[in-house]
Structure 1
């Protein structure tokens, strides 16, 4: 049995939607990959129950940790004989499910994922296909992995971003019960992560695209409004209701929609690459790195660095976002985004000394710049300046030594 792996992901609403979608699979074998953190949760029980009602022979595998190429290859081997893969968990679990399902169907893709190259981007060849359907059940918000054609892969002392149509799930179960136990802090961080992903291509593109601009402005405004609601709930000590969490989850996925960014430059999201590397290198949460970097990034845009984005478009976008909470946020976009993160009670203090930032800068340039197209014209001094503006100087004893520089590539980098 095979479903299309290249079309848009079908959204399933709640348990009934999953049951309807499973009708064609009765009598087949299913592998359920569950994050250890949610293996005993209500949403996992719901999925298991629906699989049972559909008379599916289910093998459940509980996963813990990010998973590197070796562990994902081993996981792919455990999928032998399966007709359908379901992943229940956050973005890390869903990325593992996407990569394992890919390697199960296309074992030769392992050479592409782990081949020697310095580039942080791995683009799957167009012939790479996945014949076993994949259903994603996201239990967090922000990453939108359930609708994306990308996945992060731990590799060496860093991460690679793998991209290809064969990674896009066939269906995604959108159920508010999946995020019922998500702490308010992580819900707020998820909103900021989704907002960053939506606005980055908009600001990074200097062209006016009326339809795509309007869509991005609308999604960004809705996310910001919902972020204010999450803040109110946290301050009141109450759980954010199902409707709001469901809205956030759906908008989070929309950040990956092709029609939202149709015609945008493919590498208009330089800040996203920098924030991810900063997060991994310093061992901090991704949204902490995003909250620290955004004010510095937007200040550089406002100061005229058009390699990072358009100042007029940034001001226009921010005027709309600021209007979602009148009288609270500053008019200046850089000051405003810092105030927004603080307003949402998101931690954004990142300590790192000069040597540490030099090491992170070298990592970023090696993986994404120095002749590769992702950073465009940005050089090491530009990256270092951004990072220094984003972090705070810590007490010397509180900063671990920088990691060793990665070894030189065995051969020239693969074309991105």
Structure 2
């Protein structure tokens, strides 16, 4: 067979698919989970003579888990970081800190403890340390999803089909072999993103969230310890469970092809997540329709907080969505609701799940109406059937109404309706970052994006279109 006739068998990150229909899957991260998991890992690091640097989210510096890390004789340096709105400058600063500590102090391990934003920052900082071309690749163009090369020595090599290929960048003095790169141990203090085990990270570029994909961002070790999530309000645990649930449901519905093993794994995950969310919701002493929409409740403010066992199970299920066969070989752009919800969340200043629930119902309404660009009605019925059968309360056969009912029962606040002017800003941002020729929303026009958002979110009374925020 000559070269022109050979099928494309190049490795693909992200979706893990090849152009000939086969797929690959790998998750090299070692997961240590359970009560005392963090102490167990620290003991191992001590026994191995590791020299540890600690990066901690400023929001959790006073927690027992961080105190345990700071008190370890293996910890040489600690750095407290505010990861909110972390952009490329903060990523470069993280890379510089890692480089300095590794060079001057022989630091060989970094332990990051915090929420998904903090873990993303450390992952990207490490990646810059390994490949100095990363910031230029991330800042180029308008695409909201950027696949980075899996091999730093070949910046122009093909990239993932799950995102536009980042343009080649010139080599830099601190290239992939320039210095030591510490091992990474990631300890999440929140639930839902699964960043501790995923090959993706979010970064702010020119005021917008941009998703980076690279297999090298998978850490060596992930630690799931209920002590690290002990301060989470019940609603944040519930929203984390819902985030993991929708992460599975999106590609299950959005991909037209059935996959027996992947579907079995995905539907089992769906059932476990629904049952856990129902148990957490049952602990609330306040009816979900009376929960305030403008603030998160603290533990005890709206029923008992989640137990150690519930938080551990939620963390394990969330991580497993990235590490099982449930999502392998799927359409890398199958979960289209995420792209729209990302901008809804940013513009309206609401949480991811507050934004995602109504947008997902809008996408599913298009699916149910036969619009195959968003998924197939048969797979929507299959996926929602798993939700319906696992739920302890009646959610009905209509997935769009049922998801809103489920989220309301779980206590997730409703999304505020934007004014027409703000809705127009959101639609233009969605089209700019994910549509207009880009793969995530290929074939979906700006007018269709606007219509879907209007039907999903409604419209609040307000002035007509005008200069409301940046739109491009």
The answer to whether the superposition gives a TM-score over 0.5 is yes
Compared with structure 1, are the counterparts of its residues 327 and 226 closer, same or farther at alpha carbon in structure 2 (3 Å cutoff)? Answer: closer
More displaced 10-residue stretch of structure 1: 347-356 or 214-223: 347-356
Q: Deviations over 1:23-77 (max 9, x none)?
A: 565152x22111111011112123334x42xx34233333352311012212221
CA distance in 1, matches of 2:338, 2:59: 27
How many positions carry a matched residue from both structures?
A: 396
Q: Which is richer in helix?
A: 1
Match among 167, 192, 202 for residue 242 of structure 2:
192
The residue that corresponds to 1:94 in the other structure is 119
Q: Deviation of residue 220 (structure 1)?
A: 0.8
| Greater shift in the superposed pair: 322-331 or 153-162 | 322-331
Residues in 2 aligned to 1:70 and 1:400: alpha-carbon distance in whole angstroms: 32
Question: Which residue, out of 270, 274, 278, partners 1:220?
Answer: 270
CA distance in 2, matches of 1:57, 1:72: 21
Q: 1:379 deviation in Å? A: 1.3
Partner of residue 119 from structure 1, selected from 143, 147, 150: 143
Distance 1:354 1:94 in 2: 36
Counterparts in 2 of 1:27 and 1:241: CA distance versus 1, 3 Å: closer
8 Å Cα contact 1:191/1:252 also seen in 2? yes
Q: In the alignment, which residue of structure 2 is the partner of 1:384?
A: 450
* Structure 2 residue 134 is matched with structure 1 residue 109: yes
**Structure 2 partner of 1:250:** 316
Match of 2:82 in 1: 63
Where does structure 2 lack aligned partners over 5 or more consecutive residues?
Answer: 1-25, 153-175, 287-302
1:10 aligns with 2:30: yes
Counterpart residue number, 2:53: 31
Farther-moved stretch of structure 1 (348-357 vs 263-272)? 348-357
Cα distance per residue 1:72-105 (max 9 Å; x no partner): 2122212212322211111111111111122223
SS in 1 for 2:111: strand
Question: For residues 197 and 327 of structure 1, do their structure 2 counterparts lie closer, same or farther at Cα, with a shift above 3 Å needed?
Answer: closer
What is aligned with 1:402? 468
Q: Residues 70 and 78 of structure 2 are in contact (CA less than 8 Å); yes or no, is this contact kept in structure 1?
A: no
Displaced runs of 4 or more, over 6 A: none
- Conserved? CA contact 1:212–1:261, under 8 Å: yes
How does 1:36-55 map onto structure 2 within 5 Å? 36-49=58-71, 51-52=72-73, 55=74
Superposed CA RMSD in Å reads 2.2
Please state how far the C-alpha of 1:165 moved relative to its aligned partner. Answer: 1.2
The question of 1:339 aligning with 2:405 is answered: yes
Q: Is there any run of 5+ residues in structure 1 with no aligned partner, and where?
A: 1-5, 407-416
Q: Deviations over 1:296-317 (max 9, x none)?
A: 1211111111111111111122
Q: Which secondary structure state, in structure 2, belongs to the residue aligned with residue 145 of structure 1?
A: coil
Q: Is this contact kept in 1: 2:242–2:353, CA < 8 A?
A: yes
Counterpart of 2:183?
Answer: 133
Cα 1:25–1:106, aligned 2, differ >3 Å: closer, same or farther?
A: farther
TM-score by length of 2: 0.79
